[in-house]
A and B are shown apart, each in its own frame.
Chain A
């Protein structure tokens, strides 16, 4: 996976640990953790598929655009691998 990634811009129903405010946003992988069982499956008592968990760093400018308080400040969040795609994907 490229270090620069985009969070999938999907809104599926269910127990999702990817915050909505980060969907569709681009960031850089800070470190990779896991594998951890997929919480979207665990929540419904299925066996969780082991997934890499990436800590992704986003700038405030990327998340909030012109409304950013300080554009260069950053947010880091843990995003499961199946929620990430290469940042240059269409």
Chain B
């Protein structure tokens, strides 16, 4: 069944520790099942982090002045957005870019760690701490740092560098921001409230300021990397954060056909939900989403790209859900992508949808990366469920399938 307002994925930009672009991700996840570069286990001790591969930023952000005005997460995002626009054949298409709507999921707040460190040290011995703090903030902060911190300035930089100038909205709130961003864009296309969207996010995991916030909640895995399911089965478990950028060009079928653009896949549904995360709450939300989507399932069970993050309680709950559905024959292969990519927080769900669309387009699936019994060899799925459960809250699920 196809309709003119179907939501198609017609462009993907993807960068992570696995590499740049779709081929690099396909190679690591579908052909070798291994990380091509080692995890960073020294710089951010006790936490392992999956670091971004080196990027030639000027390929997508030609002006040095623009690069200078951004912090790393904005550079990653602006770069990845450029890849997605290139991939969709929209780069330089002034007319379409001027009416392209944008929904970005962002954190922000990247800090100048040296300035913070100097001020904290100085405060310990300052005779008048309040006066010392004020004086040093006023003198030591770079005037442009604020713009590199503001959440909506990733979208702002994408407008400036790539000329995407329809509406521009930035959602916040960790993983749920990425889920809502994709969901709202898809719902708007389905309802005729726009026909061409750029949606995505970027996360720079190589930041001690961010690790500090996450450490407060005891959410992070320590020591040598382990698979998502292994981490989820160990004491408190923990997530490994990974740098990543993921942007999608979403387009109505009518709009894509009118410009002769083929699609990777159809984004048939996106559902967001939220529970208070009492025992069983998140699984209940996810099960409801699964049941709602199951009306659209074909004759063979869908594959699952799980966004489980390795934090014990939620990971065990999600695993039990999939184990049961596998046993009932209602889902096919299950793969937890964060084993190789890590949690890219706001970008986690856009990464999931990108990987689902890629697998559909390549008529294949990803290799198991865990030996604990949940990731079994599986037939190539015709439909893929992509999930994301936030490390704090928020549960999302998307159904991705062939465009025609």
Does chain A bind chain B? no
Residues of A at under 8 Å CB distance from B?
Answer: none
